[in-house]
Structure 1
Amino acid sequence: MTSILEEKYQNLFDIDANLNRLVKKIELLNYINPLNIESEKKQFYSSKYNYEPQFKYPKIRFNGYKLHRLFFSQRLERIKDESIRELYKDIIYEYSGLIECIETIGQGRKFYFNSLKSFGTPTERDIENAKFILRFDDSDFEEDLLPLYNVDDTIAYFEDYRKRYDFDFTIKKSTNISAAAMVQNNTKTLLLRRNYKFSKNQLAVLANHEIGVHMVTTFNGLSQPLKVFSNGFPNNVETQEGLAVYSEYMSGNLTITRLKELAYRVIAADSLAKGYSFSDTFDLLYNQYKLNRDKAFIVTLRVHRGGGFTKDHLYLTGLKKVYDYAKSGEDLNVLLTGKVTLEYKDVILKMQELGLAIPSIHYTDAYLSNDNQNKNFDFILNSLK
């Protein structure tokens, strides 16, 4: 079947294969996470939060100029269908932007401006939404939020959870990630922060988020005839993170604390636009918003890595978009077909009609039934603008 398809759409498959070869080299998350987080954190704490961390980053393993040239040498005019041609044009611009991001990691505002091009910055509405969420009280003691589980406990939990899905992936410990956990799409690997203590709630949150969505879309993307579903559509972060947090909500594991964490990320990302330094953003979260020290450090690190990484504001906007989309009765299956973007839904459906894409093989089990018992979340999510 695929060979007949490839003959019929030879030019499209050739371009897709070319881009696939090129894009393998530019996984942003492989480069953006500092190599010396722990040592810089110690120095920052011992300086009474006045020291500006000097993060070190992995060496770049590609020639950016050459990659740009190869991306823009693709003969897109050979793709006959206009909407698919436009998708691939957008993809090339997206990948080109990511190259510029990677090339300028650690170069301060230069990186920040490239990050803005790729990920945008919070709008006034986003900031209002974040501040609205931060009004809600999360001070009640909950045993499920106590950090009691080490990384080996977490691996055991995930090994059990993975049995729900019929795909295989690697779980590894890492000291060089800023999140508690993350999926490496290109290596089908789930990374867990080695020296981190996880709560019972966090285990469930991360299992649904990382395995139930990010791994699901990784393997669905790999099953598609075209590699673009695996490599990623333009601006897919917002949709993908929205889907992931929505799975936390649907599985009944979303908490006010978690929602506020996403709101703090918006506030922190906005501080970049105001020219805040690392210590300024930390001070904002720790002293003004009274976020605990380690959480304030992590949120600050996430947005200041590279020189100013604005991606984190998209989790909340993505959640709102996916929540509204699902609430209106739209099909989530199409958004799980790979690393895709809600805004390209019609193109995906068209590609499915043409046989150039298939429906999702794996489906997020949290989406099968709504296990959320907290009506506050519906009130909050409906109230977001």
Structure 2
Amino acid sequence: MTPQEVLPELKEKYRPVFEIDTHLNRLVKRIELLSYINPINTEKEKHRFFTAKYNLEPEFKYPRLKFDPYKLHRLFFSYRLDRIEDETLRELYKEVIYFYANMVQCIETIGSPRRFYFNSLRVYGTPRERDVENARFILHFEDEPSDGSMEKHHSPEAARAYFEAFAKAYDFPLQIRFSTHISARAMVSNSSQSLLIKRNAQFSENQLLTLAHHEIGVHLVTTYNGLAQPLKIFSNGLPKNVETQEGLAVFSEYMGGALTLKRLKELAYRVLASDSLSKGYSFSDTFDLIHNQYRLNREEAFTITLRAHRGGGFTKDGLYLSGLRKIYQRHLKQQAMEPMLSGKVSLDYERHIAYLTELGLAGEGPYRSLSFARNRNMNPTLDFILNNLK
């Protein structure tokens, strides 16, 4: 029996659960934070920032909201949770509602620095001192010599052809769209089940391999596994799912032989940028830290600073490295990855996933990440680093 083939008697027994799940699904379809958080005038403000010798605060503009935040927020709390008799399920959906409601508040306050930052903290948290120490540990390693795989000469159209060829090994549809309003070179839109490619970007061979394992090998796998589950919370996302999902995605890069020290350093810079933000530093202060103190080139330093400061203070980027550490530790313990690939789920809710599976309300999902089939990493430095993260 596949996850969606829930017996009619189970649907009847847990009718209130399916009702609230359907109710929340209708509401969540209206929101996707990443479609609002990326500035629409990035290039203009980057030019102003560089022209001013890095001594001004960029004035970013953001897409307009396509929903009424107050009305949507109220609708999240309109369903009576006491109809769910099972205490574990009732508490789960209570936490899910708070998570989605906080996401609405995040979107509503984009562009209002203090308000957005504190809403972002509730959803993503902030780097701990251990995370900052791990980031500094990684940055102590000497850069590896670059080779031809790092040269950016592939066009967005070539990237599309590469991803299409990579995805043929998976039995799910690959929808690809080009976009000018994303900060990453490529990313998955969970709501539209599509892979977005940045239209004006150039890609290296290594970046294509990295993005393929990251976006297709994990993010699209969990998107389609989530859609195959009986409950839509697996598709829309459990609370605290970002750290686990991004940890899985970067671990997929490692297993696929795509992860490099340069990429690991990029994740370390992101932690430092998020930490700088949490300490109250301005955009120019964070840029100074990454560019002048850590000597990262100004284009990459600007991108990392932008990712941390967009919206008014976005702490999501601090989770990639800690997520990788947790997933790598799970790998060392030879614990199964399949439950974490069953949808947009979190390690923090593994007990709930097991409980839902026991009730017949969840399953592993029909897709596996082919990146995890065997370890293709050939870089002993990466193994040493990952084995020594705190």
Please, what TM-score do these two structures have when normalized by structure 1? Answer: 0.98
Query: 1:266-277 maps to which residues of 2 (within 5 A)?
Result: 266-277=271-282
**What SS is found at the alignment partner of 2:153?**
strand
What do residues 271-296 of structure 1 show as CA deviations (whole Å, max 9, x unaligned)? 11122211111111111100011111
Query: 1:300-379 maps to which residues of 2 (within 5 A)?
Result: 300-379=305-384
Instruction: Say if 2:218 and 2:252, in contact at 8 Å, map to a contact too.
Output: yes
* Mapped pair 1:298 → 2:303: yes
- Decide which moves more: 43-52 or 18-27: 43-52
- Residue matched to 1:66: 71
C-alpha distance in structure 2 between counterparts of 1:296 and 1:104, whole Å: 25
- Decide which moves more: 140-149 or 329-338: 140-149
- Residue matched to 2:217: 212
Query: 1:221-300 maps to which residues of 2 (within 5 A)?
Result: 221-300=226-305
What do residues 137-159 of structure 1 show as CA deviations (whole Å, max 9, x unaligned)? 12412221111212111111111
- Residue matched to 2:55: 50
C-alpha distance in structure 2 between counterparts of 1:188 and 1:287, whole Å: 39
Specify every segment of 5 or more residues in structure 2 that has no aligned partner in the other structure, as ranges: none
C-alpha distance in structure 2 between counterparts of 1:303 and 1:157, whole Å: 29
Instruction: Say if 1:94 and 1:118, in contact at 8 Å, map to a contact too.
Output: yes
Aligned-residue RMSD, C-alpha: 1.1
Q: 1:114 aligns with which of 108, 113, 119?
A: 119
Moved over 3 A (4+): 1-4
Query: 1:168-207 maps to which residues of 2 (within 5 A)?
Result: 168-207=173-212
- Decide which moves more: 3-12 or 224-233: 3-12
C-alpha distance in structure 1 between counterparts of 2:47 and 2:203, whole Å: 20
C-alpha distance in structure 1 between counterparts of 2:366 and 2:15, whole Å: 25
- Decide which moves more: 137-146 or 209-218: 137-146
- Residue matched to 1:16: 21
Specify every segment of 5 or more residues in structure 1 that has no aligned partner in the other structure, as ranges: none
Query: 1:132-171 maps to which residues of 2 (within 5 A)?
Result: 132-171=137-176
Instruction: Using the TM superposition, give the Cα deviation of residue 214 of structure 1 relative to its aligned residue in structure 2, in angstroms.
Output: 0.3
Instruction: Using the TM superposition, give the Cα deviation of residue 136 of structure 1 relative to its aligned residue in structure 2, in angstroms.
Output: 1.0
Instruction: Say if 1:71 and 1:92, in contact at 8 Å, map to a contact too.
Output: yes
Query: 1:230 corresponds to which letter in structure 2?
Result: S
Query: 1:31-50 maps to which residues of 2 (within 5 A)?
Result: 31-50=36-55
Instruction: Using the TM superposition, give the Cα deviation of residue 346 of structure 1 relative to its aligned residue in structure 2, in angstroms.
Output: 1.7
- Residue matched to 1:27: 32
Query: 1:269 corresponds to which letter in structure 2?
Result: S
Instruction: Using the TM superposition, give the Cα deviation of residue 193 of structure 1 relative to its aligned residue in structure 2, in angstroms.
Output: 1.1
C-alpha distance in structure 1 between counterparts of 2:155 and 2:53, whole Å: 28
> Number of matched residues?
385
Instruction: Say if 1:173 and 1:191, in contact at 8 Å, map to a contact too.
Output: yes
Instruction: Using the TM superposition, give the Cα deviation of residue 120 of structure 1 relative to its aligned residue in structure 2, in angstroms.
Output: 0.7
Instruction: Say if 1:36 and 1:56, in contact at 8 Å, map to a contact too.
Output: yes
Query: 2:334 corresponds to which letter in structure 1?
Result: G
What do residues 115-169 of structure 1 show as CA deviations (whole Å, max 9, x unaligned)? 1111111111110000000011124122211112121111111111110111113
Query: 1:267 corresponds to which letter in structure 2?
Result: L
Instruction: Say if 2:290 and 2:296, in contact at 8 Å, map to a contact too.
Output: yes
Please, what TM-score do these two structures have when normalized by structure 2? Answer: 0.96
Instruction: Using the TM superposition, give the Cα deviation of residue 73 of structure 1 relative to its aligned residue in structure 2, in angstroms.
Output: 2.3
C-alpha distance in structure 1 between counterparts of 2:93 and 2:382, whole Å: 37
C-alpha distance in structure 1 between counterparts of 2:139 and 2:69, whole Å: 41
Instruction: Say if 1:36 and 1:176, in contact at 8 Å, map to a contact too.
Output: no
% identical aligned pairs: 59
C-alpha distance in structure 1 between counterparts of 2:125 and 2:358, whole Å: 33
Query: 1:365 corresponds to which letter in structure 2?
Result: L
**What SS is found at the alignment partner of 1:362?**
coil
